Amino acid sequence: MSATDDISRMFRMIPWLAEHQGVAVKEAAREFGITASRLVHELGTLCVIGSDVGEIARGSFEYLIDFDLDEADNGRIFVTPSQYISRPLKLSQDEALSLLVALRSLQDLVDDESAAHATSAIAKLTALIDPDAGHVEVTVDHGADGVRNLLASAITANEQLQLVYDGVNRGVTTRPVIDPVALVVHGGSAYLQAYSRTREAWRYYKVNRIAEATRTGSPTLDHGPPPPRQWVDEVEGTVELHLAAGALYLLEYDPVRESGELDDEVYLRWARVPLADRQYLTNRLLRHADQVRVAEPHLAQQDAVRIAEGALAGYAQLAEEGR
């Protein structure tokens, strides 16, 4: 903890203690993450600051704080701050910016009304800092605004929805009836967490793949608490991939566990990736062909080859008919 953090804490602590007169020493110490003895020592030192000031100032004689040591011995804190320590320090640029960016990122997720409250909170915070603070721009991929607002309102109002959804792995449109419970961001994209009445299971739906959402007119049912979020499960274990130049970007987009350099002219790096299902790897092999090498034989390779053969047959037939 640097001196600046520590001083910043003092300027928070004294006004807070003044607001919470008679607070237990232990509770106050816990609130500010220090030991009880340190807290009492600090207050004991701060309350004698000021006694010498008359020597130089002629007139202005005051203590930094007034602190009741006897009450502290009884385990309670009573503090009266002077005007010199009556408020916390102003927000640093980094503090304000970090909070502003957090507020902006949630605007892409909540209903229009909450987004408006975020806007007014942002305006109040922005007024507190130097307008030339660093620029930070964040966007959440949240699909169409209309869909996002409908989902957010349905969650708040406990309304059941029917979705028209672009399924990912199976690559086909589905129309599940769902009870929506939450909008969650993962990897820069918004997901709807919902109980699928169609599948009778908890599901995440990527919001930008929701083509349409319609209220069914029924209320949602209580399905108990949803299971804890697990984005990258390893149902199928992990797999080691060798990446050529054309597939290196996988390191930036996929949930890579470990990676390192390879001593090979073509395959520059290795990466160990968790497999939620086999389809993930099949899709990667179809996309990258020889730019990805699987370190140990995997069933997904057979799937990819079968799908590639099917596609070649399709193209052969097109060529036949075009003749």
Partner 1 sequence: MAVSGERSKPVQRAKEGKSNTLRLMHLLFILQSVQQPVSRNQLTDLVEDYQRADSASSARMFERDKATLRELGVDVEVTTIDGDELYRVRSRDFFLPEVDFSAEERTVLAIAQRVWGEQAVGSQARGALAKLAAIGVELDDEPVHAFQPTLSADPSLDVLWRANSARLRVRFTYRSSRGEQRERDLEPWLLGQRAGAWYVVGFDRERGQRRTFKLARIVGAPQTYGKAGAYRVPADLDPVAVMASISPERGQERAVVAVRGEYAPSIRRRGEPTGHEQTPEGYAAYALTYLHDDALVGELAQFGADVLVLEPQQLRDLMVDHFRRVIAAHASTDEGTNP
74 or 261: CB nearest partner 1: 261
Count CA atoms within 13 Å of residue 18 on its CB side: 16
Q: How far is the CB of 64 from partner 1 (least distance, A)?
A: 5
Minimum distance, C-beta of residue 122 to partner 1, in the bound complex (Å):
9
- Closest separation between CB of residue 235 and partner 1, Å? 20
- Tell me whether residue 8 or residue 162 sits nearer to partner 1 (CB atom): 8
How far is the C-alpha of 264 from the C-alpha of 24, rounded, in Å? Answer: 65
The answer to whether 79 touches 43, Cβ cutoff 8 Å, is yes
Q: How far is the CB of 68 from partner 1 (least distance, A)?
A: 19
In the complex with partner 1, the residue whose CB is nearer, 74 or 127, is 127
Closest CB to partner 1 among residues 65, 197: 65
How many alpha carbons fall within 13 Å on the CB side of residue 4? Answer: 3
**b/e sequence 8-40, b meaning 16+ C-beta within 10 Å:** bbbbebbebbbeeeebebeebbeeeebebeebb
> Which residues neighbour 43 within 8 Å (Cβ) at sequence distance 6 or greater?
65, 67, 72, 77, 79
Q: Which C-beta is closer to partner 1: that of 74 or that of 93? A: 93
What's the sign of the alpha-carbon dihedral 69, 74, 77, 80?
negative
DSSP letters for 233-270: --TT-EEEEEEEGGGTTHHHHS--SEEEE-S-SSEEEE
Contacts of 316 (CB under 8 A, 6+ apart): none
98 vs 218, beta carbon nearer partner 1: 98
Closer by beta carbon to partner 1, 197 or else 284:
284
Please report how close the Cβ of residue 216 comes to partner 1 at its closest, in angstroms.
19
Q: How far is the CB of 123 from partner 1 (least distance, A)?
A: 10
Minimal distance, residue 238 CB to partner 1, in Å: 18
